[in-house]
Amino acid sequence: MNTQTTLNAEPGIIPLGYRKDAKGRLVPEAQIPAIDQERDQLVREIVHSAMQIQHFLNEFKIKAMADIAAFVELSAEQYGVKLGGNKGNVQLISFDGLYKVLRAVAENITFDERLQAAKTLIDECLIEWSENAPSELRAIVQDAFDVDKQGKISTGKILTLRRYKIDDDRWQRAMKAISDAIQVTGTKPYIRVYKRDAAGEYRLLNLDVAAV
């Protein structure tokens, strides 16, 4: 009968001939099926490669950000202007126009309690409009205020509601409440690299493994 063995090894140290299972128990390799060992090796090889790529991308981003900031400073010095940090969006294009690098700053947006007031006002509008309320608008509003699995709402969908020009005082107050509820909790700079195709359109060089 195969039994799992627990050893009094130092934390983080796995004795020779043993492997730790998902529950933290030390199991003799002789008791682990060959296919499980092969799976473990494959997963570790892929993860190791992914971690190396992640490290490389992190170093690339740090260097690229620093290089762009230095170039922006150099360019501004021509006009006696002193800048600082990775502030603002910057677009750099190669001399032949073939390549484009974009440094942009994305804001982390959330909403405070005033969003609930906006939702109440919008609900009042939809109820009173009843049959006259377009079904598409109802669906858009419902979708905007739906939460995901983490209990969060989509800021993009909420902000999209402001595009609708509806001549109703409650709707307009709701849109103002949404605007007032916006809270910027931080910013995050990022880099996008583009290459121009034969049609003259800039195509993103995707660094997301899932999108390659």
**pLDDT tens column, 34-76:** 999 999 999 999 999 999 999 999 999 999 999 999 999 899 8
Give the residue carrying structure tokens 């600082």: 84
- Which phi-psi region, left, alpha or beta, contains residue 68 (left: φ > 0; alpha: ψ -120 to 50)? alpha
Q: How many Cα atoms within 13 Å fall on the side-chain side of residue 9?
A: 17
Contact by Cβ (8 Å): 176, 101: no
The yes-or-no verdict on residue 97 having pLDDT over 90 is: yes
Between 131 and 146, the more confident residue is 146
Give the phi and the psi of residue 123 in degrees, each rounded to 5. -60, -40
Across the range 192-201, mean pLDDT stands at 95
Which pTM value belongs to this model? Answer: 0.65
H or E element at residue 145: helix 135-145
Q: Which distant-in-sequence residues (6+ apart) come within 8 Å of 6 by Cβ? A: 25, 26
CA-based radius of gyration for the chain: 27
Across the range 116-137, mean pLDDT stands at 80
**105 strand-pairing partners:** 189
